[in-house]
Amino acid sequence: MGLISELKKPSTIDLQGRTTHLNGLQRFVDEFLTSHTGYSSEFYLQSDHRYPSEQPLMRKGDVGMLCFERLNNVQFVNKYLERINVALEVGGYCMVRVETKDSRRVRIIKKFPKIISRPYYAMDFVLKRLFPKWGPTKKIYFWLTKGKNRVISLTEALGRLVSCGFDIVAYQRVGYDTFIIGQKVRDPHYDMEATFGMLVYLNRIGLQGKEFVVYKLRTMYPYSEYLQAYIFKKNNLQHGGKIKDDFRITGYGRIFRKLWIDELPMIYNWLKGDMKLVGVRPLSKQYYSLYPEDVKKLRIRVKPGLVPPFYADMPGTLEEIVESERVYIQSYLKAPLRTDIRYFFRALRNIIFKKARSK
């Protein structure tokens, strides 16, 4: 029997708008933990989610920690997860609970009549999703609410765990809650790279292998960058070399990508001299690691570009993309200007007549 049985208060928990007794939830938690970690009762129940506070105490023989308070109600989420990380040995597990943005929307729409539910949801999204992340209102929001009942996307919850030193083992939705199991693989990053504004700053591999910052408009939820390795392993690549069924992309983000609106700030990279008009895509470390060594060495001999050879050749698989870039770079190193002019007009033709678009 799992450790959840030790809970005395509250004796019930709200799942799917119903009051469900803990023994039913206990069965789910036991089965969820056992199927993905091999353990169940060897977890310590962490009930104190405040920060700062003392480090949680682990009992001898514990392999992990159950964090039952919704992350939506934790004021300093990263500090909370970092504190849990410090308490665990490498290989230890934690399980957290969150009501995701999508679950919250379903709950609100079902709770009220249609004439009320949609305006209520819009107001809820602005007050509890946008206000906590916007500079002028953030301090006021946290002063009034202590950070409770915030709207958090699944991507953000997973990304925060990864940024705090955990690998994602599994997650599962039960009612309106999603339970996530993480395993400690390293110390937390202790960084503040994740941003919430519309302009995002992405570290990419450039000329001579040096990293530089690419500027783009946001098309993904916050903390998406931390999930790149996980989402690639889970979903792999689709036709065209992008990650398949990438849930990190927002609805408006798909529109931005289709119309290239998200790439407009990269013109600043061009003006700065970090990029040129035609050239290979600026890649993240994760994507760069997928390339064969000989193409890696070729790539860092040239600047990345705004218009990649992808739009000239329209490759479908990663192997075809790699070969397309290999041919482009070899040609560019022999005849830079002529190669870029040729590739630019081939790409322009595909964009206009074949409707080539990013996804």
Same domain, residue pair 174 and 236: no
Residue 214 lies in a domain: yes
Q: What is the pLDDT of residue 108?
A: 93
Same domain, residue pair 249 and 323: yes
Same domain, residue pair 95 and 205: no
Residue 96 has pLDDT above 70, yes or no: yes
Residue entry with tokens 């004021």: 75
Residues 6 or more apart whose Cβ sits within 8 Å of residue 308: 278, 279, 280, 281, 325, 347
3-state class percentages of the chain: helix first, strand second, coil last, to nearest 5: 45, 20, 35
CA angle 247, 250, 256 (to 5 degrees): 125
Same domain, residue pair 26 and 168: yes
| Mean pLDDT value across residues 65-75 | 88
For residue 55, how many C-alpha atoms fall within 13 Å in the half-sphere facing its CB? 10
Residue 40 lies in a domain: yes
Same domain, residue pair 159 and 231: no
| Mean pLDDT value across residues 217-235 | 85
Residue 136, preceding peptide bond in cis (omega within 30° of 0) = no
Residue 3 DSSP class: G
Residue 145 lies in a domain: no
Residue 111 lies in a domain: no
Q: What is the pLDDT of residue 192?
A: 56
Percent of the chain with pLDDT over 70: 84
CA-based R_g, the chain, Å: 23
Percent of the chain with pLDDT over 90: 45
Count: domains in the chain? 2
Is the torsion defined by CA of 149, 150, 151, 155 positive or negative? negative
Same domain, residue pair 15 and 38: yes
Pairing of strands 64-70, 93-98: parallel
Same domain, residue pair 220 and 323: yes
- Position with higher pLDDT, 137 vs 308: 308
Same domain, residue pair 178 and 250: no
| Mean pLDDT value across residues 310-335 | 94
Question: Residue 129 corresponds to which amino acid?
Answer: R
Q: What is the pLDDT of residue 51?
A: 52
Residues 246/250/254/260 CA torsion (nearest 10 deg): -110
Q: What is the pLDDT of residue 353?
A: 83
Q: How far apart are CA 293 and CA 51, in angstroms?
A: 46
Q: What is the pLDDT of residue 307?
A: 95
Name beta bridge partners: 66: 45, 95
Same domain, residue pair 84 and 205: no
Domain hosting 80: range is: 3-100+152-184
Mean pLDDT of the chain: 84
Q: How far apart are CA 39 and CA 135, in angstroms?
A: 43
Residue 5 has pLDDT above 50, yes or no: no
| Mean pLDDT value across residues 328-339 | 97
Same domain, residue pair 66 and 94: yes
Same domain, residue pair 171 and 244: no
Residue 236 has pLDDT above 80, yes or no: no
Residue 257 lies in a domain: yes
Where does residue 208 rank: exposed (0-12), middle (13-18), buried (19+ CB within 10 A)? exposed
Chain segment 273-316, per-residue pLDDT in tens: 999 999 999 999 888 999 999 999 999 999 999 999 999 999 98
Residue 107 lies in a domain: no
Domain harbouring 160, CATH code: 3.30.110.40
Query: What is the H or E stretch that residue 345 is in?
Result: helix 336-353
Residue 116 lies in a domain: no
Same domain, residue pair 204 and 346: yes
Q: What band does 154 get if pLDDT is binned at 50, 70 and 90? A: very high
Residue 191 lies in a domain: no
